[in-house]
Chains A and B, each alone.
Chain A
Amino acid sequence: MNLLRPLLEPVIQPALDKASAVVPMHWQIRGAHAFQGLKQRAGRARPIPVFRESPLPQVSTLALRDIDVSNPFLYRQGLWHSYFKRLRDECPVHYQSRSPFGPFWSVTRYEDIMYVDTHHDLFSAEPIISIGPQPEGLELETFIAMDPPKHDVQRQAVQGVVAPKNLAQMESLIRSRTADVLNRLPVNEPFDWVQRVSIDLTSRMLATLLDFPLDQRHKLAYWSDVAASPPEATGGLSNTDEAFDVAADMARTLSLLWREKEARLDAGEAPGFDLISLLLTNDHTRTMINRPMEFMGNMVLLIVGGNDTTRNSMTGGVLALNQFPGEFDKLRQNPALIPNMVSEIIRWQTPLAYMRRVAKRDVTLNGATIRKGDKVVMWYASGNRDERAFDEDPDRFIIDRKNARKHLSFGFGVHRCMGNRLAEMQLRILWEEILKRFAHIEVLEEPGYVQSNFVRGYTRMQVKVTAKT
């Protein structure tokens, strides 16, 4: 076993290709970072938008063409409801010609979103699914942003890690970890639910899926946060230097993990059910480490996909039950409603606001003519509140809502969320274990909201739990 062989292989950044054939992946990222810095100083880099928060106007005061739902403060300022409702009612397929992310179309009604999502022949997921581009020099390749047939091959290689059969074997492990986190919570005194429960549980889960050292799980959450928040992509708070630092740390840590597993497999050890073992035992992906952008892309996808989404649904559920206390009563009286409530939480929260596509040719959608090459944003957060699809007051949180499962949060079509069953299982177990222990979880103050047009999440939420008597 030659542990160095891997590190002596390929390449990351087109500009560095030739020079870097013998350089480890994280050094290549360092090189790309330095190169990007040079480009910036030479005035050759793409400008990065800067966002400063100020109070946004009420939507009723704006002309339709001035409505910009890509503003990363819309969710935090609690204005997204009214903005999207106006678009759904007056201009369901809406064009914004001069946002900080460039021009884009917004698709805001359920049926139209379903149409775009299920027509990958008309709407491409490439090159990326955020409104804006990935940081220059860090353009990762991930199958969420690939069209068939390449998408299908890559997804099929990794989907086994969250296949229901695999999950059934993990259920008791997830339950014991959830119980452990809940048992350590202080009772009758304030604490931050986001840190103590949502982040800790989701990063433990990710560590399990990646067979990553549990004591370093905070790294996974941090990487995910940075990867999901470049200002040019989503209006978030990370900066280019931080993104490159994280990419380098990820590359170093995860390629070591990969090499270690590879060595153990080569030595005849039976493969585990973790993501890297699955990739190493699949013909299409066993050499993925030699394609750094693809390797990193898949890792980032799994880490972000399994992190922000479930984390913010764990917080959102508690918040929703506080805003609609009658539903909390209903839940206590009938815990059998938990599975349906889980779908309703995912609908109500919609932890990722949208997915972006690019029209592959001219398409007429609900009266609007979208031109080939135009960006098209499917606003799941709006579709999930569309009165035309959810007739029972869509802004209300109703744990026994009849058609909660038809929510758009997982997307529909070939890009439908791969981890949907894992997410549902994590949330179901969390609520089953909560009801065993606590009579109430009281939200003590308005939570903190993430700055982003993509992630609909919480930075902190002070709560107090009361034990069951």
Chain B
Amino acid sequence: MGQITFIEHNGTEHVVTIEVGQSLMQVAVDNDVPGIDADCGGACACGTCHVIVDQHWMQATGGIQADEQGMLGLTPEKTETSRLSCQVTVTEQLDGMVVRLPEFQM
């Protein structure tokens, strides 16, 4: 079983065990990582599961579809390596990944 580290905006780290095939959002919610609202339940429709992926992990998170790009465009805190965690499927390749939470969800 691999692990992913979520780092809150205030620096608090949450190391969680991953389950391949789940979305990154689901992993965070199941492990009570604060700061992921996921109001739409994973439909890529609210932008409130925004995470910022460490640069060198970006490619491993997979491609970004137009829908996700559109929703990310609505958050003022978007960065080059922003993802909506509901659109990232957890794979073995993500073992050890570090993602940061923005200060605010939109």
User: Which A residues form the contact surface with B (CB < 8 A)?
Assistant: 114, 117-118, 148, 152, 155-156, 159-160, 163-165, 168, 405-406, 410, 412-414, 416, 418, 420-421
Contact = CB atoms under 8 A, between A and B. Distances in A.
Contacts of B73: 152, 156
Contacts of A418: 74
Given A164-B104, A416-B46, 9 more contacts: A117-B45, A164-B77, A165-B76, A165-B77, A165-B103, A406-B39, A410-B46, A412-B43, A418-B74
Residue of B40, B41, B67, B77 with most partner-chain A CB within 10 A:
B40
Contact of A405 (B37, B43, B47, B67): B37
B62 to A, nearest CB: 20
B51 to A, nearest CB: 16
B43 A118 contact: yes
Interface of B: 37, 39-41, 43-47, 67, 70-71, 73-74, 76-77, 103-106
Contacts of B104: 163-165, 168, 421
A152 B70 contact: yes
Contacts of B77: 163-165
B82 to A, nearest CB: 14
A406 B40 contact: yes
B76 A416 contact: no
Dominant SS at the B interface?
loop
Dominant SS at the A interface?
helix
Contacts of A168: 104
B76 A412 contact: no
Residue of A148, A163, A412 with most partner-chain B CB within 10 A:
A412
A247 B47 CA distance: 34
B10 to A, nearest CB: 14
Contacts of B76: 159-160, 163-165
A165 B105 CA distance: 10
A416 B47 contact: yes
B39 A118 contact: no
5 contacts: A156-B73, A164-B105, A405-B39, A412-B45, A413-B45
B44 A416 contact: no
Given A165-B104, A405-B39, A406-B39, A118 B45 contact: yes
Given A114-B45, A159-B76, A165-B76, A414 B106 contact: no
Contacts of B40: 114, 406, 412
Contacts of B74: 152, 155-156, 159, 414, 416, 418
